[in-house]
A and B are shown apart, each in its own frame.
Chain A
């Protein structure tokens, strides 16, 4: 059975100029022990669809879906307090900007222990022990000392490690990583990706990687969903996607990689890919 099942997800935002459709009929499934990558440019609705699954969108968003289940339980029909017991515990998310998503007013130790207190109900000494253990597993040197640090005292890579430690604190079944390495250097990126892949294999988690970096996709994913302007353009396993992409958009995306540049100019997506909706409107 699939861990997370989404069918025909639509997310609309109420704006002053009428409703704006950010996600337009996206379907996907994530199984246990599987790494799914969602690729797309900014504005393609990749983060919004996952935030909708987490139930973290503001009230202006209108989320509808034919099916939105986690482990066979309907997330949309569930009362809010039930859902809060699942998110953060069984489904955890690593947010895009590590430095911005940690609270600057509290020590990182407080922030990780908060998760353990709310979801696991551990007492004070057990929380501290578990927090040290978690910091060790994500490769933070001097874990006991570091629990007392504030986010501004740590580097971007360190903060990202703290975010990962918070996300895996309750041994989630599904981890959603929203651009986990975008703000980081290549050497740190490599460390974080290796860490995520190791944790995924050790705990047997399902992992969703949201990214716009094709290199990251190639290095991590089993299966890939390509999104564009809120629609799903293609879904394929990673080898097929790179070897034999079906959709024109995926082909354009791969051609725009500087690695694949053949001539003097990089082909741009707008040259290679004409949006069929725009085309239809012109006709």
Chain B
């Protein structure tokens, strides 16, 4: 199995400038995180808000540079701070953002949203761009007639499908999914997760799946990394992490996840009656 993505000791600091009454300070958002993802696999990054998981996602997508540490894409080192980001590199990683209501430009038609990555990164002719957008619209479960519509005409689940289609326009190897289903209803969530699983099989995609919902992670992930205050406190295969959580934070996380099985409802009702 070939390793698509490798991170070695990634660190990201944010400098908050001081002012007349405030001292400047440095926020350590990510403190030395290392991992590997193999082709066709899914790594889930779990953690609460503010633990640095989205920052890490942005570094992996080559949007933000890391303060230190190495990022290797298919064995090649990338450092966007040095400016050696080629369009070929850019095409390898794409991202789907959390909130489909905010990540699509309301003044662009779906067709323009989908073809824009090709306009920027390649010199594909217009009719090929259009064909590719049409093909992907169908692939994600929408129709050709949606090409000329605006984002506000779609529901949350449909918009997330559009965002996924846009991410796939450049034929990426790696897809970073930043909480792709947390803004969606249960029924729509199942559809989008199924779509992601189908696309992974078809295009041999590698996913980095950022989430705080453990039931979704358990369903989709091959490997799980738990982050807490910028550090990776737990990293292992899904079954290892779920069967035998080592770090106390992981245990807290499991304990906090609501359980929807009949036994735990029974236990709760019995406890309530006793109280």
A202–B197 Cα distance when bound, in Å, is 46
Distance in Å: Cβ of A193 to nearest Cβ of chain B: 8
The stretch from B19-27, B107-115, B230-238, B257-265 touching chain A is B257-265
Among the listed A190, A259, A266, A267, which residue makes an inter-chain contact with B260, where contact means beta carbons less than 8 Å apart? A259
On whether the beta carbons of A190 and B215 are closer than 8 Å, the reply is no
Question: Which residues of A in the span 236-276 have a Cβ within 8 Å of any Cβ on B?
Answer: 238-239, 242-243, 252-254, 256-261, 264-270
B269 contacts the other chain (Cβ, under 8 Å)?
yes
A31 to chain B, nearest CB (A): 15
Q: Are A185 and B48 in contact (CB under 8 A)?
A: yes
Are A219 and B186 in contact, CB atoms less than 8 angstroms apart?
no
**Which chain B residues border A190 with CB–CB below 8 Å?**
255-256, 258
B161 at the A interface (CB under 8 A): no
Q: Any chain A CB within 8 A of the CB of B268?
A: yes
Chain B CB count within 10 A is highest, among A238, A252, A268, for: A268
Main secondary structure of the interface of B (DSSP, over half): helix
In the bound complex, what is the Cα–Cα distance between A239 and B187 (angstroms)? 22
Q: Number of B residues whose C-beta is below 8 Å from A?
A: 36
Interface range on chain A: under 10, 10 to 19, 20 to 34, or 35 or more?
35 or more
- Is the contact region of chain A dominated by helix, strand, or loop, or is it mixed? helix
Is the beta-carbon distance between A185 and B186 smaller than 8 angstroms?
no
Are the C-beta atoms of A258 and B187 separated by less than 8 Å?
no
B61 nearest CB across to chain A (Å): 22
Contact A243 B186 (CB under 8 A): no
Interface residues of chain B, those whose CB is within 8 Å of chain A, are 48-49, 156, 185-191, 193-194, 197, 212-216, 218-219, 252-253, 255-262, 264-266, 268-269, 275
Q: Which A residues are within 8 Å of any B CB, using their own CB?
A: 41-42, 156, 185-190, 193, 201, 212-219, 238-239, 242-243, 252-254, 256-261, 264-270
